[in-house]
Amino acid sequence: MLTTIEKILFILLALVSAGFTVHGFKTIIDTIRMGRPAPELKNIPASLLKAGVTVLFQQTIFKARKVLSAIHMGLFFGLITYAFVNLVDALEGLVPNFDLIYSGKHLSPPAWTVPLINAYNLISDVMSGFLLIAITVFLVRRFIVKDKALAYRENVLLNPKVKAGGQAKDSLIVGVFVIMHVSAHLMSQAYRLTEGADPFMPIASFLNSIFGASQTGVHVAWWISIGWVMFIIPYLSRSKHTHFFMAPINLGLAKQNPRGQLDPAIPLKVIDGRKYDPGAKVITDLAWTRIMDAYACVQCNRCQDVCPANFYGRPLSPSALEVNKRYLLKEATFGSHPDLLLAPLTETVISPEAVWSCTTCYACVRVCPVGNEPMADIVDIRRRMLIDGFEIDSGVQNALQSLATNGNWMGKGKRLRGRWAKEMEFPVKNATEEPVEVLWFVGDTASFDERVIPNTKMVARIFHQAGLDFGILYQNESNAGNDVRRVGEEGLFEQLVEQNMAAFGKAQFKQIVTTDPHSFNTLKNEYPQFGGKFEVKHYTVTLLKLFEEGKLTVKNKLSHYKVTFHDPCYLGRYNGGFTAPRKLLELLGVEFHEMPRNCENSFCCGAGGGQIWMGKVAPGERPAENRIKEALTTFERHPNEKKQLFIVTCPKDMVMYSDAVKTTGNEGKIEVRDIIQLVAEAVGVEEVSQIVG
């Protein structure tokens, strides 16, 4: 089709384009390689293959925004199709008399290929239409409807170029490209239809009926369509649409360790004897996988939607963190600011206030369709801030100081930890003095907070009544360190692990049970790295087992309660502990209703990652308050006279939500209870009013 001059031009253009493209991706690869070693990834080909399948079926995007995700799917398939379409178009240009219109009759193809050609014509024609619709929807969403989900809060730190609309520019360029490219392709096909409509090319035939056929038209449309590609491919490596290529790879190289296991503060693997300071100050302090995150991110902001800190107006947006990272890298590697590689992350990609707003609830990582881990970056940044003497929140500092001296964050003496147990009407074994079946790791809040201790005692009574051979560590227990680690105090975390490992060493037990999901998480997922090999269970699992074994029986069905259940982040999203609490509630016979945000999509109470220690608390509706409202709305859909309960299985939740009920003025409408209170009522344990002491 093309003239010789056109062909020469095309080949030159293709070479230039390829040069820029190779340079672009080489720069990206080199940049990623500047990162620190990541935790070892096993069986990479298999996980890449798995990611390929996931991407093909677009599984990960459907965790949120179902309709838009369907449109994204159309866009995705359209673009995949267009990889072939462009190839065919190129052949049409370069190979004389090559075209596939009218069942490819100009090529005189073998008969068996005719249905394939027709199928190709139909798919590429219809897909072109889909693409135009999909891209138009996305452009309308961004530029006309201005979907707030795509915007950042005023207080979120943004790279100046992002603030000036850099991403919108990217979207517009790529959007316009897709429209021009697809339209030009359709037109190039339409202009070819010299013999009228092709039934397998409905859209092109329709266009043909308007514009007719034209040789010049074919040339012009072809150049627009393919010329654009030559421009856009190198452009992609310099825009947020690196997403197209990097998303599947990033997903294939995503975190393989358990969700509840943080990457170490200093890489375990060392390259060229390099020395590493703990955590991250500059971008190259991040693991290479997390540098790659920035290229995979397309700023869909699903993470921002689910972020509890962002929810109540804190200046944190996980997506902004990623986009700022990419812009920093782009200016440092493609632009003229290599010095940016040495710029503190807290000045360029995320504000210190945002760093300290994260609850480490994992919702952002869980929802990310491309396997990004913004939360891990935040923890790494905290780690270095602590080492570098950054002035931290006074509440957090007090908590850490108390943890270092007393082993708990509440400023209580070690010896007071087991005081509640000494007040029990039966002896609670000291597991460091006599062997026990089950070692109950009680945790700080359950041991010291007067508001939670009645529940702690109730757990002991139920265990006792069920004949469970259990004991506690008394003053030998220290805070497990889950949140200490997430606040970034790796040294203190290690100290606490050592203290607890020493205590475990003194004790004889077969299994550990925790009341606190945070302790549960670190004991289960992180202690093994420090030699702590033991079975860890959450008390909801233990209780369920006691019922299943007949050691506990429901005497009074609790059908007079209407309840909903809050999945604690560190039990649910982190460790998949969704079923035990729900099965328990079913056994107890309550009327149960799920809140819209449940299980994996549960909404954080706002206490995790050290937030509960914060002295300064920002104004705005708290996540916990919002959650109470969510529960009440859920109940409103099932009106009756039953008492409405908000069931928790985490001592911190007891505190957070009891407060939230009061601050939202909903006392009397809804009551927060630990699941143990329901169990006690159902199995018939009366609270001992006068405590033996």
Nearest Cα to 50, choosing from 212, 251, 317? 251
Strand pairing class (561-565; 511-514): unpaired
Kindly tell me which of 546 and 661 has the beta carbon lying closer to another protein.
661
Binding part of the chain for another protein, among 139-147, 310-318, 502-510, 610-618 by CB under 8 A, reads: 610-618
Interacting residues of 374 by C-beta distance below 8 A, sequence separation 6+: 293, 303, 318, 319, 321, 322, 364, 365, 368
Pairing assessment for the beta strands 643-648 and 591-592 based on DSSP bridges: unpaired
Is 494 a binding residue for another protein by CB under 8 A? The answer is yes
CB of 173 to another protein, least distance (A): 44
* Neighbouring residues of 616: CB distance < 8 A, sequence distance ≥ 6: 393, 394, 395
209, 211, 212, 213: CA torsion to nearest 10: -130
Question: In whole angstroms, how close is the CB of 446 to another protein at the nearest point?
Answer: 14
Q: How far is the CB of 389 from another protein (least distance, A)?
A: 6
Binding-site member from 278, 528, 532, 589 for another protein (CB under 8 A) = 278
CA–CA dist 166, 158 (Å, integer): 11
Site map for another protein, 437-466, x if CB under 8 A? -----------xxxx--x------------
Asked if 110 touches another protein (CB under 8 A), the answer is: no
Distance CA 225, CA 672 (A): 62
Residue 122, amino acid: L
Residues 380 to 419: which contact another protein by CB under 8 A?
Answer: 386-387, 389, 391-392, 394-395, 397-398, 400-402, 404-406, 410-416
In the complex with another protein, which residue's Cβ is closer, 619 or 639? Answer: 619
Site for another protein in 504-563 (CB under 8 A): none
Residue 330 or 384: the one with the smaller Cβ distance to another protein is: 384
Number of residues that bind another protein (CB under 8 A): 42
Opening angle at CA 454, ends 450 and 459, nearest 5: 130
Q: For residues 71 and 294, what is the distance between their CA atoms, to the nearest angstrom?
A: 23
Within 10 A of 639 (CB to CB), how many other CB atoms are there?
8
Smallest distance from another protein to CB 431, Å: 21
Q: Which is nearer to another protein, 639 or 668 (CB)?
A: 668
Q: How far is the CB of 538 from another protein (least distance, A)?
A: 26
> How near is the Cβ of 51 to another protein at its closest, in Å?
36
Binding to another protein, residues 191-250 (CB under 8 A): none
Q: How far is the CB of 634 from another protein (least distance, A)?
A: 24
DSSP 474: G
Min separation Cβ 27 and another protein, Å: 36
Q: How far is the CB of 427 from another protein (least distance, A)?
A: 20
Cβ atoms of 493 and 518 within 8 Å: the answer is no
Scanning 32-40, 217-225, 549-557, 655-663 for contacts with another protein by CB under 8 A, the matching segment is 655-663
Phi, psi for 514 (deg, rounded to 5): -120, 150
Residue 147 CB neighbours (<10 A)? 14
Inter-residue contact 571 to 650 (CB < 8 Å):
yes
Least separation, in Å, of the C-beta of 363 and another protein? Answer: 23
Site for another protein contains 313 (CB under 8 A) = no
**Which is nearer to another protein, 551 or 669 (by Cβ)?**
669
Q: Round to whole Å and give the CA distance between 207 and 204.
A: 5
* Contact status: 688 vs another protein (CB under 8 A): no
Interface with another protein (CB under 8 A), residue from 489, 567, 671, 674: 489
CA angle 361, 366, 370 (to 5 degrees): 140
665: contact with another protein by CB under 8 A: yes
Q: Which residue's CB is nearer to another protein, number 391 or number 636?
A: 391
Query: What are the start-end ranges of the H helices in 391-433?
Result: 394-406, 419-422
**Strands 429-430, 561-565: pairing kind:** unpaired
Pick between residue 74 and residue 352 the one whose CB is nearest to another protein: 352
- Under a CB-based contact definition with an 8 Å cutoff, are residues 452 and 655 in contact? yes
The residue among 569 and 655 lying less far from another protein, judged by its C-beta, is 655
Could you list the beta-strand ranges (E) of 137-244: none
Taking the complex as a whole, the smallest distance from the CB of residue 663 to another protein amounts, in Å, to: 6
280, 345, 492, 656: residue in contact with another protein (rule CB under 8 A) = 492
Q: Would you say 54 or 495 has its CB closer to another protein?
A: 495
The minimum distance between CB 386 and another protein, in angstroms, equals 5
Helices (H), ranges, 307-426: 308-311, 318-333, 345-348, 352-355, 363-367, 374-387, 394-406, 419-422
Taking the complex as a whole, the smallest distance from the CB of residue 356 to another protein amounts, in Å, to: 13
Q: Which is nearer to another protein, 305 or 659 (CB)?
A: 659
Q: Is 663 in the site for another protein (CB under 8 A)?
A: yes
Q: Which is nearer to another protein, 487 or 541 (CB)?
A: 487
Q: Which is nearer to another protein, 424 or 453 (CB)?
A: 453
Q: In angstroms, rounded to a whole number, what is the distance separating the alpha carbons of residues 676 and 542?
A: 12
Nearer to another protein (CB atom), residue 227 or residue 454: 454
In angstroms, the Cα distances linking 531 to 131, 177, 501, 525, 690 are 54, 56, 8, 11, 43
- Contacting range for another protein; rule: CB under 8 A; set: 203-211, 501-509, 556-564, 612-620: 612-620
| Measured distance between the N- and C-terminal CA atoms of the chain, rounded to whole angstroms | 97
Binding part of the chain for another protein, among 116-124, 171-179, 611-619, 672-680 by CB under 8 A, reads: 611-619
Site for another protein in 615-644 (CB under 8 A): 615-617, 619
Least separation in angstroms between residue 644's CB and another protein is 18
CB of 559 to another protein, least distance (A): 27
* Between 54 and 663, CB nearer to another protein: 663
Q: Candidates 156-164, 361-369, 527-535, 609-617 — which segment interacts with another protein by CB under 8 A?
A: 609-617
Query: Which of 167/432 has CB closer to another protein?
Result: 432
Cβ atoms 310, 350 nearer than 8 A: no
DSSP string, 50-90: HHHHHHHTTTGGGGS-HHHHHHHHHHHHHHHHHHHHHHHHH
- How would you classify the pairing of strands 536-538 and 511-514? parallel
Sort 12 into a burial class: Cβ within 10 Å, 0-12 / 13-18 / 19+. Answer: exposed
Instruction: Summarize as ranges the residues that interact with another protein (CB under 8 A).
Output: 278, 386-387, 389, 391-392, 394-395, 397-398, 400-402, 404-406, 410-416, 448-451, 454, 489-492, 494-495, 615-617, 619, 659, 662-663, 665
